[in-house]
């Protein structure tokens, strides 16, 4: 699978823990990320599930738009921009789910859609400790409950 413009291309974070016996041929794509060369999203999901592991597909697409025609360098710029948005989530893989190249007033641009994916042995998706600690705490609700409530009564 090439990362040039292919629907279903998978990017794996370096040092991602994979099921025993699963070999994914990959090449460097960006610092910290590798592109799977021998499997697309569907193929990797089948292999992971055969090993009794789980390959999560997370809802919510991340779209980025960059100037330039379709090609490896344009794809790298688009993925780098998407990673800036997704980096805090700490998931270990991404799937490119759409690539659209167009022109506006003669200026070429490429729009890329990416979904987060995650490979793990456990059946439930549990965020890493860093992700849980980065979630802001809910606002205290005690202030609204502490206000005295006045009951209206009419006397006749």
pLDDT level of residue 43 (50, 70, 90 thresholds): confident
Helix (H) or strand (E) holding 93: strand 93-104
Cα of 71 vs its chain's centroid, Å: 21
pLDDT level of residue 18 (50, 70, 90 thresholds): confident
Q: Once rounded to an integer, what is the mean pLDDT over residues 133-140?
A: 59
Between CA 3 and CA 35 the distance in angstroms is: 7
Between CA 124 and CA 54 the distance in angstroms is: 9
Question: Which of 119, 127, 66, 69 shows the shortest CA–CA distance to 95?
Answer: 119
What pLDDT does residue 78 have? 87
Is the pTM above the cut of 0.85? no
What pLDDT does residue 129 have? 57
């Amino acid at each position: 699978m090439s990362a040039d413009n292919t629907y279903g291309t998978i990017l794996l974070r370096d040092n991602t823990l994979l099921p025993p016996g699963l070999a994914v041929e990959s090449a460097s794509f960006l610092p910290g990320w590798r592109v799977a060369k021998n499997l697309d999203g569907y193929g990797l999901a089948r292999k992971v599930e055969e090993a009794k592991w789980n390959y999560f597909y997370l809802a919510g697409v991340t779209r980025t738009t960059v100037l330039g025609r379709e090609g490896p360098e344009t794809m790298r710029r688009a993925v780098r921009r998407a990673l800036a948005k997704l980096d805090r989530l700490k998931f270990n893989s991404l799937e490119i789910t759409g690539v659209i190249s167009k022109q506006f007033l003669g200026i070429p641009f490429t729009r890329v859609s990416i979904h987060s994916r995650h490979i793990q042995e456990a059946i439930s998706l549990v965020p890493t400790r860093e992700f849980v600690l980065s979630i802001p705490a809910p606002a205290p609700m005690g202030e609204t409950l502490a206000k005295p409530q006045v009951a209206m009564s009419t006397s006749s």
